[in-house]
């Protein structure tokens, strides 16, 4: 089974939509809120070169930076 991590921030509508879409598709994921985890925020910026959220990581690889919706 794939491991999916969704890095989010509080109040982000794109993060909310991504989580809803993944739940509807039955895809399990771990959420990491960057507002509450400064170490993770640094990792997302430095390792994944992300400048927006959500950042979706699947099996250690960047699947998406930002979110435009399913399909």
Confidence class of residue 68 from pLDDT cuts 50, 70 and 90?
confident
Task: Name the DSSP class of 42.
Answer: H
- Hey, CA dihedral for 17, 14, 30, 22, is it positive or negative? positive
Cβ pair 30, 60 in contact under 8 A: no
What are 16-54's pLDDT values in tens digits? 999 999 999 999 999 999 999 999 999 999 999 999 999
Residue 69 clears pLDDT 80, i.e. is over it: no
Looking up residue 33, the CATH number of its domain turns out to be: 3.40.30.10
Q: Is residue 71 in a domain?
A: no
Band of the pLDDT at 70, cuts 50, 70, 90? low
Number of other CB atoms surrounding residue 1 within 10 Å: 6
Residue with tokens 């794939």: 2
In angstroms, the CA 25 to CA 52 distance is 23
Model pTM score: 0.91
Write out the residue range of the structural domain in which residue 20 sits. Answer: 4-65
Residue 32 lies in a domain: yes
d(CA 24, CA 67): 16
């Amino acid at each position: 089974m794939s491991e999916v991590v969704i890095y989010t921030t509080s109040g982000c509508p794109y993060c909310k939509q991504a989580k809803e879409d993944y739940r509807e598709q039955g895809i399990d994921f771990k959420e990491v809120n960057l507002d509450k985890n400064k170490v993770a925020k640094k990792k997302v910026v430095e390792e994944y070169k992300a400048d927006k959220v959500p950042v979706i990581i699947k099996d250690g690889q960047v699947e998406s930076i930002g979110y435009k919706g399913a399909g």
